[in-house]
Amino acid sequence: MASQPAVDLSVELFVEQSISELIARARTAMDAYESHDQARIDDAVTALAWSIYKPKHAKELAELAVKDTGLGNVPSKITKNTRKIFGTLRDLLRVKSTGIIEELPEKGLVKYAKPVGVVAAVCPSTNPAATPVNKAMMALKGGNAVIIAPSPAGHSTAMRTVEHMRCELKKSGHPEDLVQVLPSPVSKELTQALMEKVDLVVVTGSQNNVKRAYTSGTVAIGVGSGNVPVIIDSTADLDDASEKICASKIFDNSTSCSSENSLVILDDVYEDAIAALVWAGGYRASVDEKQKIVDTLWVDGHLNRHVIAKDADVLAKVAGLPEKAANAKFLIVEDDGVGHDHPLSDEKLSLVLTVYRARDFADAKDKVRRILEFKGIGHSCGIHTANMDHTRELAEELDVVRVIVNQAHTFANGGSFDNGLNFTLSMGCGTWAGNSLSENLNYRNFINITHLVKTIPEDKPSEEELFGGYWERFGR
């Protein structure tokens, strides 16, 4: 017992020294960073993108991520490491992020962008390479330095990712310490100390990390939980919808927070839609098989890490499902309830798609609402339809930041080349989910803005102009 305080003290000292050194180096790098020069900033951002987009690096990091974490699959992670980075670079190179970024002479305003400081980027095990690069690109676009705080499971992948980024920064003449990573062994104590000492914390991943960031005393941006429900209505192109849902569901073995977790299908097309999903590669589980899947997916109330984010055959074999299920791309399980007594209504991080039957569109909306209120409020939902009135109803009535229409949800939600969302791996979910962010994380979240304010001709309306209509209706 007498030796315990010495052990605690040594750990505390290690944490304090490690974080102090990282932040000191980051601030020195920021001092040397040519963050007043947009061309040099864009060179640095491009260097980070190329360091991972480079084919051999994208493949290396994808393989390492799957080996380290056991989550997802290599081809999808290669796509993630390239497509997300390419799209993010496109977005970032199109905007100005230093000096004067906007002038409004009619209002007498000039806006100047400035760095927020040293950023802590907390990253999940599901994307141990793509998320660090994505956040680092946005941070450097704002003129900042960034320190990556990876999950313990993804630490070696994050370390290798940061090595590649630092090497490319050096090659292009930028301070390497603009990008750093927490030392091994990564711990809650290290991450917590980092969050308390930096200027901005940006968290993607577990809600525990988000809550810890919010209570760290540092300005923090966090994201909410995913649990995407998608409607197939009576007017949908069923073959197109099923192909997109399959491609989205199986991408990276459903590790994305934007992966479809539930489908709500209108009654009059229900069986045809199920048939289309089976045609696309799904396996329709029986009632008995459904219980086997539930018992396999959850152990003592927690998702079973031995089967989540794995190929469908892994789950099928452990659950004792037939060979036809093992050969399918994903499993279709039908349910009729939402909430704690219906675990299939929760986020599953697996190739299991829960399907609900709805009487009509109003019933479908209600089911989607209840799913989101149970898990995933604020995040997103989707619909496959030819009826644009239905899309507008969802946008008007549901508490979500994104309503994805006739698209593969995983590919669309975090930005796509055929929609207008910013490319990102961090989706804000608004105050519904306790987030300050109700958009896709982007470079604007990494800059401060100074407003130069000049006088303009007086813009003061008369009392009659402001109150006249009210006086006419209700009197003075």
DSSP state of 379: E
The confidence score (pLDDT) of residue 3 equals: 44
Residue-wise pLDDT tens digits, 7-63: 466 888 889 999 999 999 999 999 999 999 999 999 999 999 999 999 999 999 999
Residue-wise pLDDT tens digits, 188-233: 999 999 999 999 999 998 889 999 999 999 999 999 999 999 999 9
| 257 labelled catalytic | yes
Quick one: 218 exposed, middle or buried, by C-beta within 10 A (0-12, 13-18, 19+)?
Answer: middle
The confidence score (pLDDT) of residue 4 equals: 47
Rounded CA-CA distance 38/36 in Å is 6
Residue 372: partners with Cβ closer than 8 Å, 6 or more residues away: 227, 229, 378, 379, 381, 398, 399, 400
Rounded CA-CA distance 439/87 in Å is 16
Could you give the 3-state DSSP secondary structure of residue 34? coil
Contact criterion met (CB below 8 Å) for 85 and 49: yes
Residue-wise pLDDT tens digits, 266-310: 999 999 999 999 999 999 999 999 999 999 999 998 999 999 999
Among candidates 302, 405, 409, which has minimal Cα distance to 348?
A: 302
What residue ranges define each of the domains in the chain, with the CATH number in brackets? 21-223+441-452 (3.40.605.10), 228-421 (3.40.309.10)
Long-range contacts formed by 273-278: CB under 8 A, 24+ apart: 273/232, 273/236, 273/238, 273/241, 273/242, 274/332, 274/355, 276/238, 276/239, 276/241, 276/242, 277/242, 277/245, 277/246, 277/332, 277/353, 277/355, 278/332
Q: Supply angle C-alpha 299, 339, 227, rounded to 5.
A: 80
Candidates 123, 167, 246, 257; catalytic one? 257
Terminal C-alpha separation, the chain: 78
